[in-house]
A and B are shown apart, each in its own frame.
Chain A
Amino acid sequence: GDSVTQMEGPVTLSEEAFLTINCTYTATGYPSLFWYVQYPGEGLQLLLKATKADDKGSNKGFEATYRKETTSFHLEKGSVQVSDSAVYFCALSDRGSTLGRLYFGRGTQLTVWP
């Protein structure tokens, strides 16, 4: 069945460091891929998404590219800030004409120190 495997955390970085959080997926067909972020005390928010192979999603300096050949959707940011401290979830949606079930990874806790 469909699933997402996400890099385990926690990840601790200094401000302005480069961030990579790995995400690979297993899916039948061609799913849409997402990164959600959960800041302390808040609900899940969509960070970025990609709906087909080779698409690049980007937002707030974060990027991820849909790689069908490696079934990956790694999250990157060139220079993290303290405000980026949160839990990051990779997810995919099953194929269909509308947004269906989301399959989430386990989440990666990111802490950025000043």
Chain B
Amino acid sequence: EAGVVQSPRYKIIEKKQPVAFWCNPISGHNTLYWYLQNLGQGPELLIRYENEEAVDDSQLPKDRFSAERLKGVDSTLKIQPAELGDSAVYLCASSPTGSRNTEAFFGQGTRLTVV
């Protein structure tokens, strides 16, 4: 079974430029998460989807960050414009819906460097 796939693995951009990250969750997983992991810290939730609906986006900085999950499968996270402080690893995860006795499966992440 394929895991959560993220691309790109690495991205270097100049500040004020836009950037987008893509995530393909595990087939059949209706719940999708985007987490932000700063260096030396644990991941923090940015947004959680149940199918196409964003059910928890309270931590998403909506002035510059946006996300979408069309058709309830793949998802894209965008930053526009990027700032130096956005340099971090962006993690996507997915989990089956319908039970709390489950786990979140994580992708390898996209490491963003803003220069």
Q: Which residues of A contact B (CB under 8 A)?
A: 4, 6, 32, 34, 36, 42-46, 49, 51, 89, 91, 93, 95-102, 104-107
Contact = CB atoms under 8 A, between A and B. Distances in A.
Q: Taking chain B's interface residues, is the majority helix, strand, or loop, or is none over half, making it mixed?
A: loop
Interface of B: 3-4, 31, 33, 35, 40-45, 48, 50, 56, 91, 93, 95, 97-109
B106 A45 contact: yes
A94 to B, nearest CB: 9
Contacts, number: 68
B102 A99 contact: yes
A93 B100 contact: yes
B66 to A, nearest CB: 19
Given A43-B109, A46-B103, A51-B100, A100 B48 contact: yes
B43 A100 contact: no
